[in-house]
Amino acid sequence: MLSTHRTDRLARSWKTILTLVFTLTFLLFGFRHHEWFKETEFPQKSKQLHAMIAEYSSRLHHYQARFRMPKEQLELLKKESQTLENNLREILSLIDQIGVLKALLRDMRDSSHNYSWTTVGDILEEQDSPEVLDEEMSNLVHYVLKKLREDQVQMADYALKSAGASIIEEGTSESYINNKAKLYWHGIGFLNYEMPPDTILQPDVHPGKCWAFAGSKGHTLIKLARKIVPAAVTMEHISEKVSPSGDISSAPKEFSVYGITKKCDGEEIFLGQFIYNKTENTIQTFELQHKAPESLLCVKLTILSNWGHPKYTCLYRFRVHGVPSEDT
């Protein structure tokens, strides 16, 4: 009996030991497999997941920034891009014209080589002529470019702000307030913005850079840079080609000019009435129809009509020419 009891206990001990060994082996194998699975598969998937989240977050932020952009700014960007495109077309056209000019001069140079000369001196001159003609061609191209950049009026402007001219606000119509023209801070429009009247006294003529007043009738009083006897005036506007909207109906049409005696508070002297033709040259000069009896310091510009715009009239630049007085 005692021997049988010991045998049973020994058998149960071995079963317990084997069970523990099997359990530990299984747990150890599972733990190693888990570590390997964690080190190989999850980190790669985690990195890919983080990269995808970062990419889509960046795209979402970009789209949100675009949607937050005010509609007025988008319209302004479209207009500016259209203006740049028009300027590029003009530059390309000018380059083509220069190319044609160079080709014409080159043909003239080549044709000049066909003449025969009898004297040695003439032959030497003929040998040097290609270089001379190249220099002449280059000078001619520079001369054409210089003429294109020069002011077309070629008369002194006594209504130029940088020379000392100014606008007298008391004798000037109120500016047109455009609710679409605003100053923005972080995408929030907080202040209406309009060009001041003295914009018309400056040579920077670009689409949109003009002084606007409500309706088709208005006036402005200009204090000239010095006393002159007025002889002519010049009105300038942009053309339909460079206008972002392709429309310049806000350009002035009929206008009159008056001289103001004394210190800009005397009587008005009628100097002439004119029509600015929007289909002709953008810069138009008009000789005054009546001569002032004395030198004047102030000139009044009165706009009588525009080319059909119902809301406002836009003036880009106005110049006054004449003979300066000795008693300035």
Give the per-residue pLDDT at 66. Answer: 55
The whole-angstrom separation of Cα 263 and Cα 180 is 38
Query: What's the CA gap between 216 and 252, in Å, rounded?
Result: 8
230: closest CA among 253, 260, 250, 209? 260
pLDDT, position 265: 86
pLDDT at 178: 75
pLDDT of residue 144: 63
DSSP codes, 147-172: HHHS-SS-S--TT-GGGT-EEEGGGS
> Residue 310: what pLDDT?
94
pTM of the model: 0.57
Query: Residue 129's pLDDT is what?
Result: 58
Buried b (16+ CB within 10 A) or exposed e, 210-238: bbbbeebebbbbbbbbebbbbebbbbbbb
User: Could you list the pLDDT tens digit for every one of the 328 residues in the chain?
Assistant: 445 555 555 556 666 776 776 676 666 655 555 554 444 444 454 556 556 666 656 665 665 555 555 555 666 666 666 667 766 667 776 777 777 677 766 666 666 555 444 444 454 444 455 666 667 667 776 666 665 555 677 899 999 999 999 999 999 999 998 765 444 444 544 444 578 999 999 998 989 899 999 999 999 999 999 999 999 999 999 999 999 888 999 999 999 999 999 888 889 999 999 999 999 999 999 999 999 999 999 999 999 999 999 999 999 999 999 999 876 5
